[in-house]
Chain A
């Protein structure tokens, strides 16, 4: 049963700490998206990869956020340093050639 796997599911950290979220896309998918979801803003696009190349990260605060795909089986989203306003649920989604997106269960981040 193919699915997108995200870790950690929950993370509580203190302001200023580094946070790394990981995503394993579905095998064979060539697009990976990172979204952030809050009640106020809904689902915001942070970064988008196609064939491991970053295509759009305009929605991501560059001073503290970074997104990478070291290989086809792993995408990472890093926040350094984290701030309370980063508290949200972070979703990774993968797809094939612009079709349906398959979402992971999300990483709920709380920054105190």
Chain B
């Protein structure tokens, strides 16, 4: 089982639609990051959230960290074909006194023109 569960696994929408993807866990994270990955490349950081209840906006993307710091959501307004990619959440968790960064399996988004 994944430490971080992302849903939906796949999402295909038309240009201009809004969407929300989710990242859930039973564990508490000291911080949570969202990355986007395009084919043939490594993930690239979009945002880091640290405080429970925090909301961050990046143009058309809105990120929210749950009050209990166990979950997060990413909302995209008026999606564009350029938003197509794999969206990954990653949480920093303490393992054996060290801070590991664990990833969810991702949501694969396709935005059709």
Q: Which chain B residues numbered 36 to 85 have a C-beta less than 8 Å away from chain A?
A: 40-45, 48
Number of interface residues of A (CB under 8 A): 23
Beyond the given A42-B104, A43-B103, A101-B33, could you list 8 further A-B residue pairs with CB under 8 A, ordered by the A residue number? A45-B103, A99-B48, A100-B48, A102-B45, A103-B41, A105-B41, A106-B41, A106-B42
Instruction: Determine the chain A residues whose CB is within 8 A of the CB of B41 once the complex forms.
Output: 103, 105-106
What's the A-B contact tally at a CB cutoff of 8 Å?
57
Q: What would 12 A/B residue contacts be, using CB atoms closer than 8 Å?
A: A33-B101, A42-B105, A43-B88, A55-B96, A56-B95, A93-B42, A98-B92, A98-B99, A100-B33, A104-B42, A105-B41, A106-B41
Binding site for B on A (CB under 8 A): 4, 33, 35, 41-43, 45, 48, 50, 55-56, 58, 91, 93, 98-106
**Chain A residues touching B, majority SS:** strand
Shortest C-beta distance, A55 to chain B (Å), equals: 4
Instruction: Determine the chain A residues whose CB is within 8 A of the CB of B104 once the complex forms.
Output: 42
Q: Are A45 and B42 CB-contacts (below 8 A) given A58-B95, A100-B33, A100-B48?
A: no
Q: How far is the CA of A3 from the CA of B51 in the complex (A)?
A: 29
Q: How far is the CA of A39 from the CA of B99 in the complex (A)?
A: 25
The 4 closest A-B pairs by CB, nearest first: A103-B42, A42-B105, A43-B103, A55-B98
Instruction: Determine the chain A residues whose CB is within 8 A of the CB of B44 once the complex forms.
Output: 103
Instruction: Determine the chain B residues whose CB is within 8 A of the CB of A105 once the complex forms.
Output: 40-42
Instruction: Determine the chain B residues whose CB is within 8 A of the CB of A58 once the complex forms.
Output: 95
